[in-house]
Structure 1
């Protein structure tokens, strides 16, 4: 039995995986029950060795390079679903256990996000052409977890609902000052200025996103109320009534959590408070998957809440509220993947076949991480003063209803 066959026999228990080797030999693994039936073809002998030593990364790279292909109409999502329903078996293999020990030992090095390095890590993901993201994101250009207050909402409705939910938690009054750490394509800053009447100072380290954001607030007629800066979060000065950070903490790295929360505390001052929206895990601390770390989010890390709360404790912050969104990101990413599949030919024309395959693998992997794995999204309200935030949650629902009446026709791009 080959090394790969030994691994797969131990790993694949649910569903079935059929492997056609480069010499046309076939091997099948699994019960055929409780999972997909997937057939892959390996186009050279080297793929077999690579898959044994690092299956998560090697499967992605082999697919990106066309050295692993699917038979019988199979898709990346099918293969990754097979991985997902058998994840316990893979983790129990001695070679994989040894590999994970190495990753844990290198965890802080992998998450190095010093000033300057952080910008380089972010730009590797976000500075693809804006037109690429426009192909498969919704009209708001929101690239973070939406909020499905109803299961039948469209993606655009759920993204606006996310902005409304965040704005309600911030309890912004007209004229209040808001610092946004990691502003994406400017959707939330636009909402806070146009709907809430806030004065927003937003920072980002992606020049392309900043250019798009400035266009957006100008189009919305609120350019006089929103200022964008190309800065690292540690370089922002001043104090603000509110601080908000959406989908940015995942790029901080556990070694820099204290820097991040100390900065949030400083920007809030004594009387303000902050709303943090980020991806977390319900399991103990871990590491970033090798494919995601190498190709998608270098320097990124999804923390356990124990790591987050340990840092807020060290920084002397009250966690006034914590909400865990469990399936919302699964629904969001599923919509992104389906949108991406519908425009795949356009992506290939714009970015090339290898890039399209990489993005297919990424979207399918993270979708399943939120459906079958330990990933979730959390929202925190943080303050220095224990009474900076209302002491009951009723204000959130009340504010959401009020904000919905003010939204009118927001200036999102047309489809």
Structure 2
């Protein structure tokens, strides 16, 4: 326990944390800045050692299994305290070794593995996602132009921001790689007059998206297929991918961008929206990989751009969204907590503890840690988009969809 005490003291910068060990001994750790007051009780004499050598995996599992109990304060506040000074934790020799081993791993998600990874997370009950997502089931970073948006407003703003960068014309053909429950594809069809093909590896998402297209009368404009990105054979005016690239794996980045280059027409525009890291390439979080997103990998921009360069595509714009995902996750977390009893009825208490740890931990990795979101705009031609970003704000600030209005179509 003495070694872990030294680590805790080195990372607590604000508030205070009281730890009660399995023998009932209390230890108090105070930061120098004001902050929340948390008390946790640890069950199991070996838990401190596990926390020392693999803190992320051990902390998540201890909370899931009830071996770490919050006696005062919230899980979110506990994770906020513990991630306030992540560089100190990551600079420890054991963490450097774990990171080095993680960087050596080449993550390749072949077709069958990619399918299994998608099923693990996205084929959970749709009723679970309805507990905390917006009505459109946008399961990616919202866009907070002012910081005061509701979740619904932020997700609508995200879709509009994406549409602005795609510069769609009525009748444009669009490929949506990782189309989820269909919300973005349906918006692009309805609001922009586009012809959209969405592909996913989740059967649950596919069925829901097809049902939505039929009920909204857009089946003639939107098609959804169960398809791996490597099997795309057609060409499109526009390609968009929101929240899917994190599942590709760094070994397949060249294949991904070669597919984009091959499938994008000469004057086309592509937009890739993905979680990234603001630091050099690293390993995957062991708890997230084991329980939430098997096969997932968060790239550094250096890895992504190296693969883009080999594809021959122009990078026409890069935008970094910093705390937008932290604010999105905060709203997801609060919504999940408000309907937690329904989640227990769907699954069980352990699952709910896993899910709330997932949402709170990810928020803190975006708020206090190295994670961000990037939007990468690509084209074959350097002049495929305007030379300044003015067109993006002009589109977003227009009272109606400007491209449809210009074409004389009803908005």
- Tell me the equivalent position of 2:407: none
DSSP-derived class of the 2:239 partner? strand
Q: Say whether the 8 Å CA contact 1:12–1:29 is kept in structure 2.
A: yes
- Tell me the equivalent position of 1:51: 51
Cα deviation per residue 1:161-182 (whole Å; 9 max; x = unaligned)? 1111111211111111111100
DSSP-derived class of the 2:331 partner? helix
Separation in structure 2 between the aligned mates of residue 105 and residue 405 of structure 1, nearest angstrom: 47
Query: Segments of 4+ in structure 1 off by > 6 A?
Result: none
- Specify which structure has the higher proportion of strand: 2
- Tell me the equivalent position of 2:201: 205
- Unpaired segments ≥5 residues, structure 2: 405-411
Cα deviation per residue 1:89-111 (whole Å; 9 max; x = unaligned)? 222322222232222233x2xx3
Separation in structure 1 between the aligned mates of residue 364 and residue 302 of structure 2, nearest angstrom: 23
Aligned residues: 404
DSSP-derived class of the 1:16 partner? strand
Counterparts of residues 18-167 of structure 1 (less than 5 Å): 18-31=18-31, 33-72=33-72, 74-106=73-105, 108=106, 111-167=107-163
Cα deviation per residue 1:269-309 (whole Å; 9 max; x = unaligned)? 32212011111122222222111111111111111111111
Q: 1:386, CA displacement in angstroms?
A: 1.7
Change in Cα spacing, 1:303 to 1:398, as seen in structure 2 (3 Å) is: same
Stretch deviating more after TM superposition (180-189 or 370-379) = 370-379
Separation in structure 1 between the aligned mates of residue 96 and residue 65 of structure 2, nearest angstrom: 27
Counterparts of residues 318-357 of structure 1 (less than 5 Å): 318-357=314-353
* Aligned mate of 1:362, from 333, 358, 361: 358
Q: Say whether the 8 Å CA contact 2:11–2:84 is kept in structure 1.
A: no
Separation in structure 2 between the aligned mates of residue 360 and residue 42 of structure 1, nearest angstrom: 19
DSSP-derived class of the 2:131 partner? helix
Normalized against structure 1, the TM-score is what?
A: 0.92
Q: 1:389, CA displacement in angstroms?
A: 2.1
Q: 1:237, CA displacement in angstroms?
A: 1.0
Cα deviation per residue 1:314-340 (whole Å; 9 max; x = unaligned)? 111100111111221121111111111
Q: 1:35, CA displacement in angstroms?
A: 4.1
Q: Say whether the 8 Å CA contact 2:395–2:402 is kept in structure 1.
A: no
Q: 1:406, CA displacement in angstroms?
A: 7.8
Separation in structure 1 between the aligned mates of residue 121 and residue 399 of structure 2, nearest angstrom: 33
- Tell me the equivalent position of 2:278: 282
Separation in structure 2 between the aligned mates of residue 124 and residue 381 of structure 1, nearest angstrom: 30
Stretch deviating more after TM superposition (89-98 or 272-281) = 89-98
DSSP-derived class of the 2:266 partner? coil
Stretch deviating more after TM superposition (91-100 or 376-385) = 91-100
Separation in structure 2 between the aligned mates of residue 398 and residue 199 of structure 1, nearest angstrom: 24
Separation in structure 2 between the aligned mates of residue 266 and residue 114 of structure 1, nearest angstrom: 20
Q: 1:139, CA displacement in angstroms?
A: 1.1
DSSP-derived class of the 2:116 partner? helix
Q: 1:388, CA displacement in angstroms?
A: 2.0
- Unpaired segments ≥5 residues, structure 1: 409-415
Normalized against structure 2, the TM-score is what?
A: 0.93
